[in-house]
Amino acid sequence: MRTENSIRNAAVSLGGQMISTLLVFATRMVFTRTLEKAYLGASGLFGDILTLLSLSELGVGSAIIFFMYEPVAKGDIEKQKQLMGLYQDLYRKIGIFVAVVGFGLTPFIQFLVGDIPDGFQNVHLIYDLYVLNLVLSYFFSYKRAAIEAHQKNYICMAYQYTLLCLQSLLQIAVLFLTHNFILYLCVQVCTTLLTNILIARKASVMYPDLRHRPDQPLESKEKRHIYQNIKAMFMHRLGSAVVNGTDNILLTIFGGLISTGIYSNYRMIVSTLTQIIGQAFTSITSSIGNLGALEDKKKIYHVFGLLNFVDYWIFSVCTICLGGLLNPFITICFGEDYLFDNWMVLVLLVNFYLSGMRQVVLRFRDALGLFWYDRYKAVAESVVNLVVSIILAHFLGIIGVFLGTMISTLTLAFWIEPYVLYKYGFESSSKPYFIQYIKFTLLWLINSAITLFLVKQVPWGGLGGFVVKAILCLVIADLFLFIVFFRTEEFKYFKNLIKQKIRRKHFPDN
């Protein structure tokens, strides 16, 4: 059942994300043709501000869901109700706090925007709509924890992606008919509210016992343990918010709102791809948590090795494809006015690869509840990132912002996160992980050099040339990895798994 749920979660996640991504790209193309560049910049800037505001969530969701894995696995309804009750109370308080602080910052938002370009209007109302969208995400959404803890994330994702697709279609219509950014944001706010309400109702139907308050609240000892994990998760959220949530703010300061608007297209493409892949790994987090609650460390370590292999294969190929296709895609969709130079793209791609190679380590850390052990790493990472980014941006321009992210990752997250996972999760040395990481990266560099050299030989431009380059990137990069890995245990495992699934589908009685 655990494997079936993981596959179902991953399949719905990938399918839904891919379909919604196509519509999001279509929406962005309409956006760039119907609104000023400054609106793209404002979208990125306010998004980063709200990322910092969302720190008040403190990591409550991740911590509570971790504590639900064991009572769900053991069928302890009372403990599940106790945890859900705590989750509800905390999220209600957080939502109120975010509303007060977020709306309270409205009079000061113009200081961050700076000089407002011509054609850009209603900056305060636009910001308030972003705040409202964030605030609404805290109400009703606590109920999805029950679905996720039962390894049925695909249900939440089905609602989420269906409504996201509807949102994109409505936003495209609004942009074509009205060219009004305010109405565009109103559609987003309504979609967020409707998604949370529908998922909450579904959770109530699926788990009616959890609709009622528990007979007794959690014991003080258990609450202290949960709050300790929440404190650790807050530090992780702080680090992540500063590392990933300040780029647009620094870009606006050092390059202006137009530069932020240009970057927003690159960020949308890279982050969307990260989300598509990340959703697949996030969708199996509950199954990893169930594994940790019921299986021994040897079994957990084995599963980690398999997933880390998949993680490398996916992110190395995607990074290579982005290297050959990112700027041609931007040119086709948005025009040459929205391009960065090759050095900027290179730094963005290295950051994408480094971030991608952390995916499985972080999923296992969250699922095994190891937040506490590397809590200070997150704070140190955020400080290093912010300081180095500001210094390098002062001397090198906006590329320094992204070099700061790279340096903070390599000096801290790169080695601390796997060290903690191996020491406290697997109770073994992390040396094999780092040896494998170096081998993987060397193979990625060789694969990149071969693939991109051959792709550059394509003489055609435009859409036809882009399609040919895309096919070459995928075929050459994957063929290289197949030749290198087809004899390995990891490759054989997944080959046999696929064979079993095909056999069951076509020959169910055998």
**Is position 385 within any domain?**
no
Confirm if 279 and 17 have CB atoms less than 8 A apart.
Answer: yes
Please indicate whether residue 429 or residue 501 has the higher confidence score (pLDDT): 429
With 0-12 CB in 10 A as exposed, 13-18 as middle and 19+ as buried, what is 326? buried
Do 465 and 301 meet the contact criterion of CB atoms below 8 Å apart? Answer: no
SS3 label, residue 357: coil
Q: Which residue has the higher pLDDT, 255 or 409?
A: 409
Residue 151 forms part of a structural domain: yes
Tell me: the pLDDT tens digits for 179-220?
888 899 999 999 989 988 898 888 888 888 777 777 777 778
Contact of 465 with 432, CB cutoff 8 Å: no
Q: Please provide the distance, in angstroms rounded to a whole number, between the alpha carbons at the two ends of the chain.
A: 19
Q: Which two tokens stand for residue 131?
A: 């705040």
Please give the Cα distance from 21 to 90 (Å, whole number). Answer: 32
Is residue 5 very low, low, confident or very high in pLDDT (cuts 50, 70, 90)?
A: low
**Most confident segment among 110-114, 198-202, 350-354:** 350-354
Residue 236: how many other CB atoms lie within 10 Å: 22
Whole-angstrom distance, CA of residue 70 vs CA of residue 87:
16
Separation of alpha carbons 5 and 327, rounded Å: 38
User: Residue 192 domain-assigned?
Assistant: yes
Tell me if 41 is assigned to some domain. Answer: yes
Does some domain include residue 238?
A: yes
Classify residue 133: in a domain, yes or no. yes
Q: What are 70's two structure tokens?
A: 């064991």
In the predicted structure, residue 43 carries a pLDDT above the cut 80: no
The tokens for 322 are: 């982005």
Prediction pTM value = 0.70
The per-residue pLDDT for range 13-22, each reduced to its tens digit, is 667 767 877 8
Q: In sequence order, what are the residues at sequence separation of 6 or more whose Cβ sits closer than 8 angstroms to the Cβ of residue 133?
A: 185, 188, 189, 192
How much is the pLDDT for 309?
94
Eight-class DSSP state of 218: P
Read off the pLDDT of residues 272-318 as tens digits, 9 standing for 90 and up.
788 777 766 765 655 666 665 555 677 788 888 988 999 999 999 99
pLDDT in tens, 142-165: 777 778 777 777 788 888 888 888
Predicted confidence band of residue 354 (pLDDT cuts 50, 70, 90): very high
Task: Determine the Cα–Cα distance for residues 35 and 406; give it in Å rounded to an integer.
Answer: 32
| The total number of structural domains that make up the chain | 1
58: in domain: yes
Least confident of 46-50, 82-86, 321-325: 46-50
Neighbours of 424 (CB within 10 A): 15
Give the mean pLDDT of the chain: 81
Question: Residue 434 CB: number of other CB atoms within 10 A?
Answer: 15
Residue 85 domain flag? yes
Domain interval for residue 24: 1-242
- Taking Cα atoms as reference points, which of 150, 131, 142, 11 lies closest to residue 69? 150
